[in-house]
Amino acid sequence: ADTSAIYGALGFLPSNAHSVASHDAATGLPTVLQLYPLSAERSVNKGSTGRDRLARMQPWPTLFWLICPSLKAQVSKLECLGLIPMLQSDVASHPGLALAMKASQNHYAELRWSSLLEPDAALVRELGWGPRLQETGVGGVRDHTQLKCLHMHLAHSLAAPRATANPVGLWVQ
């Protein structure tokens, strides 16, 4: 049932989909996907006939993806109203909020790193991708007080335990 709902919401099934991290309480439909931090990108070798397809791994910093069409539309409206700069200003002017934001971003990075299988974590370290997955927060931001996308913050908030919930995601809820 979840697979059909995911396909219905996105039009495809992400190759690195790991699990459903949150369901709508009223409908039971998936609202947030948890993604695996590595993704295999299918590409065609230059000069090939198109038959030689290569799978190429790449780091994938988005751990939680908001897939519910109605929630995505509502959050898009908030972004269009200029909420990202307003919330960014609040984070910058309230030290307590900035600390909560940093803790939330660190939590996100820890969850992402801990979801890797050990052989994949070794590969990530070997290829020098560790910082992209261990040190960046929601949406791959390096500065853990910065906001990038309200959709991602809401997805984190819906998927994460309340003790380390995303303050911006909670506000968007």
How many C-alpha atoms does 31 have within 13 Å on its Cβ side?
22
Model pLDDT, residue 50? 45
| 76-97 pLDDT, tens digit each | 999 999 999 999 999 999 999 9
> Within the chain, which residues score under 50 in pLDDT?
44, 48-54
| pLDDT for 42 | 56
What would the pLDDT profile of 132-144 be if each residue is shown by its tens digit? 999 999 989 999 8
Are 79 and 99 a contacting pair, CB within 8 Å? no
What's the confidence (pLDDT) of residue 57? 79
| pLDDT at site 55 | 56
The rounded distance, in Å, linking the Cα atoms of 162 and 27 is: 22
* Model pLDDT, residue 144: 87
pLDDT given for residue 131 in this prediction: 95
pLDDT of residue 4: 94
Q: What count of Cα atoms within 13 Å lies in the side-chain half-sphere of residue 128?
A: 0
The per-residue pLDDT for 56 is 74
Tokens coding 105: 């971003």
The predicted structure's pLDDT at residue 54: 40
DSSP states along 92-123: HH-HHHHHHHHHHHHHHHHHHHHTS-HHHHHH
